[in-house]
Amino acid sequence: MNEQRFLIKAVIKKSDEMIYFSQIDLGLVLERALRRAELPLYFTQGFRPRVKLSFSRALKLGVEGEEEVTFYFSKNITPQELQEKLKKQLPHGLTILKIIE
């Protein structure tokens, strides 16, 4: 099965209480926010499908900083739509700084 996928890269900032979340937990937080935003998510293939997203590098636990995240979607959406919908669902301490096109 060869589904089409669309990707959008964004730079997010981890600060305040979110610095105590590990990289794995950060992925789960983003996955939940994406689901609540009701965006057309792309899922991994295999026994246990997960929302597909990837990080350029991991921030250490307890460190405030920025990181690049690639979001994958099953339908083409605009970067503005991603920012508007996801921003409302992100917890305090996690913000979208910019969308990379």
CATH number of residue 71's parent domain: 3.30.70.580
40-97: pLDDT as tens digits = 999 998 899 999 999 999 888 999 999 999 999 999 999 999 999 999 999 999 999 9
Whether the Cβ atoms of residue 74 and residue 1 lie closer than 8 Å to each other: no
| Containing structural domain, residue 12 | 6-100
Domain membership flag for residue 57 = yes
Give the pLDDT band (50/70/90) at residue 2.
low
Q: Provide the number of structural domains found in the chain.
A: 1
Please tell me the pTM assigned to this model: 0.89
Domain membership flag for residue 1 = no
Residue 47 CA, chain-centre distance (Å), reads 22
The sign of the CA dihedral 72, 75, 80, 82 is negative
